[in-house]
Amino acid sequence: MTTVNSYYYICILLLVICAVITESHFPNDSHNRSVAVVIGTRPDVIKLAILINDLKFRWQEQLDVIIINTGQHKTMLNPMLETFNIHPTVTLDLLTSGSTIDVNHNTTTTINKNQRQSTNGLSHFVSKAMNELEYALLNLSNQPDMLIVQGDTNTALIGGMLSFYSQIPLVHVEAGLRTWETHIAPYPEEFNRRVLGIVCKLCLAPTILAKNALIKDGTSIDNIHVVGNTVIDALRYILERPLEVKYRRELGQLVNRFGIRIDHSPALLVQRRSTKRLAWHVPGSTADTSFNNSNASGLVNVKYVLVSTHRRENQAEGIQQIMKAVGRLAELYSGSDMGKGKGKRERVIFLVLSHLNPVVLRKITNSEVPLVSFDFLDDTCLNGDQKGEGEGEGEGEGDDQGVSKDCNSGFASDVADKTAPLVVLLPPVKYAPFAHLLRGASAVITDSGGLQEESAALGVPCLVLR
């Protein structure tokens, strides 16, 4: 095995972008080359974080990197920005009555003071974002020579359309994904993808299949480069680093309550000499980086499946049907006797990831499946030796044990029956602990495109709900 010493796909992507930046189609004037990266959703940050940081620090003398945040996923985006240490140059507050621009993190001024009734419509967001993103670009001291977007979100669509109208060359990361559905599904992502393919100057496709889709759409082969999937680099950024104490405590609470096993040890990305394929490797260590499995239920090393559903096309009846199927699976794998002398099925717990979209959350909680709610406890319920000095960085014998006996005393009621189906509704989980939670899962059930890629990258079997 050979350790991969640099970010694998980002290196390819950087070389392509910087080669294009130096091409003659850019005006040959005295100002520094400038690149604007438009983000607005959680996947945008995951897929572009390493690229943004490498552009800023490896190419800081050659490039002025401008990060524009549309705030499409405002609540979910801020923790992601913190995780990857990204500070937007421009922030648009599109989901409130006025939109603001934060220039160089120093002052905030109002872009649009008009009071308009807020709606959740796609057209409202796209039209408002187009106007105010254009205004933000016009007020930059250094106009961008290139604009980068990712994926198929409405933020990506807005950036692509604005780059076309402003005649700024567009780079599309994760270009070429297609379903070819005649009714343009998934909605609106398939429409967004196709529009971006038309206006894109540089299409960075994750696979040969995506490249062929772009060619089929009429994109010039000279504008297409296959660069791989940058989610690999994001996972590597998280998994190669020790997990912060506060996140180890959160995962420890899950272990204590349900008896699942999660290993938070750092994992290295390596290349197998025999197959040349990339794989994850946990270096040998004398330290025990798993959690203490003593818990109120008496369950130990229980397998778990992660469940995630949120897509627009599933919000009518799909989510209820998905939850019904999950409930049936929980019954089948509850550790009960299969009958006819066949013994017992192994117990599996199903962890359902809650979503901040109130429509999605309501569909999940109103399903017929009995759900066990779980919330991470704050420091008031942690053992005394887990608080105080060393918060966030320190090491100590009690760091990973989760919660005190007093706080754990009420946990046994919903898991004491070791043959009862168990479907658990988790609160939103930050990306760093989520990566370790995903890494330890036996399987994933999801309609999320990003989670499909992350589970495949970690070798976790994934059932796609589309």
Per-residue pLDDT at 44:
92
Query: Do 247 and 200 lie in a common domain?
Result: no
Query: Do 205 and 329 lie in a common domain?
Result: no
Per-residue pLDDT at 67:
93
Query: Do 191 and 331 lie in a common domain?
Result: no
Looking at the structure of the chain, the number of domains it has is 2
Q: Give the range of the structural domain holding residue 411, as residue numbers without chain letter.
A: 243-464
Does 238 map to a domain? no
Query: Do 99 and 221 lie in a common domain?
Result: yes
Per-residue pLDDT at 417:
54
Does 19 map to a domain? yes
Query: Do 247 and 228 lie in a common domain?
Result: no
Q: Look at residues 233, 255, 276 and tell me which one is the last residue of a structural domain.
A: 233
Query: Do 229 and 247 lie in a common domain?
Result: no
Query: Do 191 and 317 lie in a common domain?
Result: no
Per-residue pLDDT at 340:
53
The pLDDT tens digits along the chain (466 residues) read 444 445 556 666 665 666 665 554 445 455 678 899 999 988 899 999 988 988 888 777 778 899 999 888 777 888 889 889 999 998 887 655 443 333 333 333 344 444 444 445 778 888 888 888 888 888 888 889 899 999 999 999 999 999 999 999 999 999 999 988 877 778 888 999 999 999 999 999 999 999 999 999 899 999 999 988 888 888 888 888 888 888 888 888 888 788 787 877 777 666 555 555 556 565 554 344 444 444 444 556 788 999 988 877 767 778 888 888 888 888 888 776 555 555 567 788 899 888 777 777 788 888 778 888 787 765 444 443 333 333 333 333 333 333 333 344 334 445 545 556 788 888 888 899 999 999 889 999 998 888 888 888 888 999 988 7
Per-residue pLDDT at 395:
32
Does 278 map to a domain? yes
Query: Do 153 and 256 lie in a common domain?
Result: no
Per-residue pLDDT at 296:
45
Does 430 map to a domain? yes
Per-residue pLDDT at 413:
43
Per-residue pLDDT at 415:
52
Q: Look at residues 179, 199, 233 and tell me which one is the last residue of a structural domain.
A: 233
Per-residue pLDDT at 155:
93
Per-residue pLDDT at 447:
84
Per-residue pLDDT at 401:
37
Q: What is the pTM of this model?
A: 0.76
Q: Look at residues 191, 211, 233 and tell me which one is the last residue of a structural domain.
A: 233
The CATH number of the domain holding residue 176 is 3.40.50.2000
Q: Hey, what are 129's tokens?
A: 């974002």
* Residue 166: partners with Cβ closer than 8 Å, 6 or more residues away: 134, 137
Query: Do 155 and 271 lie in a common domain?
Result: no
